[in-house]
Structure 1
Amino acid sequence: MSESIKSVKETKMENVFECEYEDGTTRLCTKNLAPGYSVYGERLIKYNGIEYREWNAFRSKLAGAILKGLKENPVKKGVKVLYLGAASGTTPSHVSDIVEKEGKVYGVEFSPRVVRELILVAQRRPNLFPILADARFPQSYMPLIENVDVLYVDIAQPDQTDIAIYNAKIFLKEGGSLLLAIKARSIDVTKNPEEIFKEEASKLERNNFDVKQVINLDPYDKDHAMVLARFKG
């Protein structure tokens, strides 16, 4: 698709780029760690000899958060990430691109069927490690994972914030970052989502987190927010 590309520019986020097409539209993109292969049907872009993957914000909450004004992306080159709710690998594959071969992405997913798809993605990504496990029981995967710089949590559970806190206490380094995708409708369908976002952020504050930002992900994900927090240990 290089003939339709006007430019690829760096953003303020490390290893996150903006691809501008000839028609003037722009999209986020990441350098493809597995050239020639897409993960979820995303467009592959070649520019100045480098292949990029278009990053669809309607398919990835992290991309949505970046477009909605995330102040800092703790996912950077060389960091270690524990990703709870890795699913079939859409966002984990972009995280894999960003951290490059020097980094590691431990992808925990509960569904055996979905993990099979994640394994196929990981076969071409030496820094992505699929783990079939329940995030509510981190002891089951404790032997497989070292302490990490970033904990990314995207799980549809009523106690999703408690699960994030529990895993952080075991795996997240002091001063490490949490990216928590809050799914309001999984917590309480009767409450205003904004109220839920505030309550869950307060819960983090009570558990040694410094909440840096709460981003409503609409229109990319309705009734969802991304929380960026720093773990004080």
Structure 2
Amino acid sequence: MTDLPSGVERRPFDGRERLSTHGETVYGEPRDEDGWRAWDAGRSKLGAMFEYGMDTGLVGDETVLYLGAASGTTVSHVADFAGPTYAVEFAARPVRDLLGVAEARDNLFPLLKDARKPETYAHIVEADLDCIVQDVATRGQATVANRNRQFLRDDGRLLAVIKARSEDVTADPDDVFEDVLTELREAYEILETTRLDRFHDDHLGVVARPK
């Protein structure tokens, strides 16, 4: 099993060991008396990547660009163990929730922006980030990653979750994944891929670094 980043631990909740981070609760998850809250991999693709033992390259305190932050379920856990965390979400309703999550996390910066248009937030997001986490439900997921590659330092990491049904609801997921990976290779070297079906049907976890 790959080592977890500093700030992510396995702790007992409801009689079993679960991923956890230290911070304020966000989505009704259990929290122990020491302030550690359970990280539900069934509601978090990055959590599922950790559960599968993928080598994310994260050690803790990274600068992060999170694409597809929604209402903050996963990005709240990321902000618990990372450094400055920029959270991009294009839908106004979840961003209102995200603003509430950020109130308890001084390092979390919500951005009401479209991840397909990084030029709209390039003046806000710092360059040479350590990591991009991508979880967007749209066609063109590889295009999104490639366009945002500009923010990553040369030895940074892309942690992407490819949603087959968001690309093509009728195609075989394996074919979709291969097409997306082919496009990703224009800008990234693929280091590891894992199907996340135990937690998320027809999703592929991808670890990559810039070319």
Alpha-carbon distance change, 28 to 125 in structure 1, aligned in 2, over 3 angstroms:
same
Pairwise CA distance, 1:98: 1.4
1:53 matched to 2:37? The reply is yes
> Which residue of structure 2 lines up, in the alignment, with residue 114 of structure 1?
94
Alignment match of 1:85 (pick from 68, 83, 104): 68
Question: TM-score by structure 1 length?
Answer: 0.85
CA distance in 2, matches of 1:107, 1:216: 25
* Maintained 8 Å contact 1:79/1:104: yes
* Maintained 8 Å contact 2:190/2:208: yes
> Which residue of structure 2 lines up, in the alignment, with residue 44 of structure 1?
31
Question: TM-score by structure 2 length?
Answer: 0.93
1:27 matched to 2:18? The reply is yes
1:128 matched to 2:111? The reply is no
Pairwise CA distance, 1:22: 7.1
CA distance in 2, matches of 1:210, 1:165: 12
* Maintained 8 Å contact 1:44/1:54: yes
Q: Which has the higher contact order (CA 8 A, sep 6+)?
A: 2
Pairwise CA distance, 1:75: 3.5
* Maintained 8 Å contact 1:75/1:98: no
Pairwise CA distance, 1:152: 1.0
1:211 matched to 2:195? The reply is no
Please state whether the residue corresponding to 1:45 is helix, strand or coil.
Answer: coil
> Which residue of structure 2 lines up, in the alignment, with residue 173 of structure 1?
153
* Maintained 8 Å contact 2:141/2:180: no
Superposed CA deviations along residues 149-207 of structure 1, whole A, max 9, x for unmatched, are: 10111111110110111111x211111100111010011122211222222122222x1
CA distance in 2, matches of 1:22, 1:160: 36
Structure 1 ranges of 4+ moved more than 3 A? none
Which structure is larger by alpha-carbon Rg, 1 or 2? 1
> Which residue of structure 2 lines up, in the alignment, with residue 158 of structure 1?
139
CA distance in 1, matches of 2:30, 2:19: 11
Give unpaired runs (5+ residues) of structure 2. none
Amino acid at match of 1:166: R
> Which residue of structure 1 lines up, in the alignment, with residue 204 of structure 2?
225
Alpha-carbon distance change, 141 to 219 in structure 1, aligned in 2, over 3 angstroms:
same
Alpha-carbon distance change, 76 to 104 in structure 1, aligned in 2, over 3 angstroms:
farther
CA distance in 1, matches of 2:56, 2:70: 21
* Maintained 8 Å contact 1:75/1:95: no
CA distance in 1, matches of 2:116, 2:166: 15
CA distance in 1, matches of 2:134, 2:144: 9
Give unpaired runs (5+ residues) of structure 1. 1-10
Supply the RMSD in Å over aligned alpha carbons.
1.4
Alignment match of 2:9 (pick from 7, 10, 17): 17
> Which residue of structure 1 lines up, in the alignment, with residue 178 of structure 2?
198
**How many percent identity over aligned positions?**
41
